Amino acid sequence: MSTVGLVEECLQDPPQVHKGIATGVWATQRTCYDFILSKVTDGSTTLETGLGVSTVLFARLGCSHTCVVPAQVEIDNVTAYFDERGIEHENVRFVTGFSDEVLPRLKIDPVDLFLIDGAHGYPAPIIDWFYGAQHLRRGGTLVLDDIQLRQVQALDAFLQKDPRWVELSRTDKWVAYRRESEGSLREAERKQPAFSAPDSLRDQILQTTETALRDAKTVARKVKYRLRRWQGNRRRWPLSRGRP
Ligand SMILES: C[S@@+](CC[C@H](N)C(=O)[O-])C[C@H]1O[C@@H](n2cnc3c(N)ncnc32)[C@H](O)[C@@H]1O
């Protein structure tokens, strides 16, 4: 199957699935779709939370795709979109429900690529990662959209510090990691390098500067106190009269 121009076609004719936006869909950056296209092929096993242009792309790429989304109307609209355009979608499975309810029970083959782009309220992206990314095979790809949101940055910051997640690509809107482990993401706190790794140089510099400033203030306070005492003594025992 030729994939030349596929992303462009998806973006030129997006599914009308989301209300409250002129284009009818909350799409991400084109570079994210280009990246997904570079990572999956016909027959790849893929998973996403949320639905939109990405769903159309996964379907058109011939992936064995699972899409978790709570709004049945979005599923109906994208299914109608597929049918109207003669896009095959027998390999696309929709699971209706909130990802925090669906993902813990989801049965799926090892996943090649997982896109997290569903609910963005904290800690939804983290829950999606914990229950969805456990299915990512070793070497599989995780894509997080909307890293401009602090709710998503919390997860991104953790992954950045864990060597089992290797950053592959990043823009101001999305980031992708390769998983270097496999299976469940449940683990004891002492096994999490993200929390035991030495702080970044910037953090270390900030910490050292803060300590130095605090120490300097203490020294200044002591000097001021001694100066006052010395001045008080001078007033009480002026040099002309001599000290008793
Ligand atoms: C930003 S859109 C997804 C855009 C899509 N990835 C694309 O490329 O066009 C967010 C989607 O998440 C869905 N969503 C909202 N809350 C969700 C939840 N708790 N679980 C799964 N999906 C959810 C919305 O219905 C919507 O389809």
Q: How confident is the model at residue 4 (pLDDT cuts 50, 70, 90)?
A: confident
Does 1 map to a domain? no
The predicted-structure confidence for 109-142, as pLDDT tens digits, reads as follows 999 999 999 999 999 999 999 999 999 999 999 9
Among residues 35, 64, 29, the alpha carbon closest in space to that of 52 is found at 29
Predicted pLDDT at 200: 66
String of DSSP letters for 15-59: ----SSSTTSS----HHHHHHHHHH--TT-EEEEES-SHHHHHHH
Same domain, 202 and 191: no
Total domains in the chain come to 2
Q: Tokens at residue 137, please?
A: 């095979």
Same domain, 189 and 212: no
Ligand 1 probe mutation, 11, 23, 26, most atoms within 8 A of CB: 26
Same domain, 188 and 202: no
The predicted-structure confidence for 183-222, as pLDDT tens digits, reads as follows 999 999 999 988 876 666 677 777 878 888 888 898 899 9
Does 114 map to a domain? yes
Is the shortest distance between the CB of 127 and ligand 1 below 6 Å? no
Containing structural domain, residue 206: 198-244
> Alpha carbon of 161 to those of 14, 155, 194, 238: distances in Å?
36, 10, 5, 65
Same domain, 56 and 91: yes
Is the shortest distance between the CB of 56 and ligand 1 below 6 Å? no
Global pTM exceeds 0.75 = yes
Does 192 map to a domain? yes
Final residue before a domain boundary, out of 196, 214, 231:
196
**CATH number where 153 lies:** 3.40.50.150
Averaged over 67-94, what is the pLDDT? 98
